[in-house]
Structures are given as structure tokens and as C-alpha cells.
Amino acid sequence: MSTCNGYQCDISTTQQIISSCSGAFLTSLATTPFDVVKVRLQAQQSQLFASSRCYLLCNGLMDHLCMCEPKYGLSVSSPVRFTGTVDAFAKIARNEGLLSFWNGLSPLLVMSVPLTVMYYTAYDKLKFAFGFRPDSTGLTAIAAPAVAGCIARTASVTVIAPLELIRTKLQSRNNYRYSELLPSIRNAVKQEGVLSLWRGLSPMVLRDVPFSMIYWLGFEQLKAWLLARVEYSYKVPFIAGSISGAVAAAVTIPLDVVKTHMQVELGERLATTGKMSLGSGSMIEVMKKVVRQHGYQGLVAGFVPRVVKVAPACAIMITSYETCKEYFVNYNNSRTLL
């Protein structure tokens, strides 16, 4: 057995990029329907969706604000009321067709692939830099993956935020093209300054950093526990990834609800004024508003589809990533022996 699942893999940068991208497409295809349902359920409690100008969608790797144009996405506004997750799946499929569950997938993939490369590569390098090893115990075993996950997620989201903001701006117009991204960035910097490119970063970081910390800590602990009892196989990262992902999703669901409200209001303001500005207030203010209008149950809206989506998304992504790394390590070792 190679040492890929224990220490930093001896693979090239290209091989690591391939490994980190391998699960992006599968994850998106498998989990987008669950997020469509989650957004619809959350939309029922928010007046922000009333104008149907935008919706928030996630492919299990990152969230995207998408404008509601037939060419690029679906409208979250519907006269049909959903009573739960199963009811939403049935009514959306019956009224809008099965393909509606994957509307908006293209813009997700455009941004999620580079984010995934940065995120997973940075996490791997950071956790080993912090002294993490498969036999680590005590503070190192806990702190290294947690801190590495936080830093990697913050860095990757910060890097991708300007592209996501400009993409959303372009999508608010008809007939936008991705080739317009760079010219739009230059114009935004000239007119509003460099920091304008990071408007809307706070809701992106709001949930992702706590989630990342909980997920990677749980994953590494579960993986070590499983490896002490069974031989390494694809089942180890799959089980560890799904359980830790489900736990992290359950713990951070209130942050997910608040994040949805904040990002959708950002999109609504863009659609009406052409300016990216957050007007919903701080995280605490938004949370109080949700509780005041919908009670404490409002903070767990979309709980079931989020957990059901995140668990397989994490399992697919990490299993593909680690399996590909294992393959490349074995491949490199075999070529060395020749």
C-alpha cells in the first residue's frame, strides 16, 4: 500500500489538480437537485425572493448567486406551496420537469473547479506544514486540520470572490459572456476601487469557514479511527466524508439560512440598482429578523435537503480526491521501479 493516505503524496502539481477536479463534476450532478429544493423551501419564508430576480445555488463545493433568466437558471418564485422535502421534489418534477433540477449548473462549474483546486491543494499542504501525521495525537491532531481547513477555505473564497461578483454583475444583463470578466474587473476597479471587488465576501465566508473547520476535523478523526480497524480502501474516505459532512451541515444550518438571506438580498439590490451592496445588516441582525418573522424554526429551514445534499457531496468529493491521489502515487511508484 502506498503512503498517500498517510503522508503528503508524492505527486505532481498536475496530478493533484486532476485529483481535486475529479469529483467536481460528479458532485455537481449528484447534489444540485437537493440544493434547488433547499432554496425553494427557504424562499417560502423570505420576501427577498418575491421579485424572482435571483436565487442561490450550490453544487456541494461553493455557493453561487444566479440571476433568474431562462437561459441561465430557474425562478424560485412559484404559486405552489411545498409542505416538505419530498413534496417539493414531487411538485417541481411534475410542474417544471426533471431537467429543472439542474438548471444553472454551467455557471456553477465555471467557478467551482478553480475553487476546488485551490481549496484542496491548500488544505493538504497546510495540514502537513502544521505537523499533522496519521498517528498524530493530542492538540496537533485536532488543531492542524481545523486551522488548515479554516485558512484554506478563507483563502480560496477570498481569491474567487471578485470573479464571482463580476460574474453575477454580468449575468444581471442579457447576453453576457465570460470573456467580459476581465474587462469588467478593470472597469469596476477604475470606478469603485479595488476593495469593491470583495463586496459580498462576508456572507460567503459566514458559513463556509465554520463548516470547513468542523468538516476537516471530523474527517481526519474518523479516517484515523477507521484505519485503525480496517484496511484502507475507497470506503474509508467515503464513510468519513459523509458522516463529517452531515454533522458539519447540521451544526451550521442557521448560518446557511442567514447566508442565503444576505446573498439573495445582495442580488436583489444588484438587479434593481446595478450596485452590489449589502443592506440586510450584520449576521446577528439578519438572524434576529428571521426569528422575529418565522420563529426559531426559521433558522433550520431547508435542514433535511441540506444535510441530505452535503453528506453525499462531501463523500463523493473526498473519495474521488483521495482515490485519485492514491492512483497517482501507485502510478509514479511503478514508473520509478521500471
Q: What percent of the chain has pLDDT over 90?
A: 17
Regarding the domain delimited by 13-25+106-337, which CATH topology (the fold level of the hierarchy) does it fall under? Answer: Mitochondrial carrier fold (1.50.40)
> What does each C-alpha distance from 216 to 46, 113, 150 come to in angstroms?
32, 20, 9
pLDDT at 221: 93
pLDDT at 10 over 50: yes
| 45-61 confidence digits (pLDDT tens) | 554 444 456 666 665 56
Beta pairing partners, 55: 66
In this structure, of 26-35, 41-50, 164-173, 277-286, the range with the lowest mean pLDDT score is 41-50
The average pLDDT across 112-130 equals 87
The average pLDDT across 292-319 equals 84
pLDDT at 271: 61
pLDDT at 70: 41
Are 167 and 181 in contact by the 8 Å Cβ rule? The answer is: yes
pLDDT at 298: 82
Q: Phi then psi for 83, rounded to 5 degrees?
A: -95, -10
The average pLDDT across 151-159 equals 91
Are 116 and 318 in contact by the 8 Å Cβ rule? The answer is: no
pLDDT at 175: 56
Which residue reads 497517482 in cell numbers?
A: 328
Amino acid in position 159:
V
pLDDT at 48: 42
Q: How sure is the predictor about 181, in pLDDT bands with cuts at 50, 70 and 90? A: low
pLDDT at 54: 63
Classify residue 295 as left (phi > 0), alpha (psi -120 to 50) or beta.
left
- Give the residue with greater pLDDT, 104 vs 37: 37
Mean pLDDT, the chain, integer? 77
- Give the residue with greater pLDDT, 233 vs 110: 233
Q: How sure is the predictor about 72, in pLDDT bands with cuts at 50, 70 and 90? A: very low
Q: What percent of the chain has pLDDT over 70?
A: 71
pLDDT at 79 over 80: no
pLDDT at 266 over 70: no
pLDDT at 1: 41
> Can you give the chain as a three-state secondary structure string?
CCCCCCCCCCCCHHHHHHHHHHHHHHHHHHHHHHHHHHHHHHHCCCHHHCCCCEEEEECCCCEEEEECCCCCCCCCCCCCCCCCHHHHHHHHHHHHCHHHHHCCHHHHHHHHHHHHHHHHHHHHHHHHHCCCCCCCCHHHHHHHHHHHHHHHHHHHHHHHHHHHHHHHHHHCCCCCCHHHHHHHHHHHHHHHCHHHHHCCHHHHHHHHHHHHHHHHHHHHHHHHHHHCCCCCCCHHHHHHHHHHHHHHHHHCHHHHHHHHHHHHHHHHHHHHHCCCCCCCCCHHHHHHHHHHHHCHHHHHCCHHHHHHHHHHHHHHHHHHHHHHHHHHHHHHHHHHHC
Whole-angstrom distance, CA of residue 322 vs CA of residue 312: 15
| 183-193 confidence digits (pLDDT tens) | 767 777 787 77
The average pLDDT across 25-36 equals 76
Whole-angstrom distance, CA of residue 31 vs CA of residue 311: 9
Whole-angstrom distance, CA of residue 86 vs CA of residue 89: 5
Closest CA to 291 of 264, 266, 261, 246: 261
| 87-100 confidence digits (pLDDT tens) | 888 988 888 888 87
CA dihedral 58, 62, 68, 70 (to 10 degrees): -70
- Give the residue with greater pLDDT, 154 vs 255: 154
pLDDT at 73: 43
The average pLDDT across 12-21 equals 82
In this structure, of 130-134, 169-173, 261-265, 322-326, the range with the lowest mean pLDDT score is 169-173
Query: Structure pTM?
Result: 0.76
Which residue reads 452535503 in cell numbers?
A: 310
| 229-241 confidence digits (pLDDT tens) | 998 888 999 999 9
pLDDT at 59: 57
- Give the residue with greater pLDDT, 273 vs 110: 110
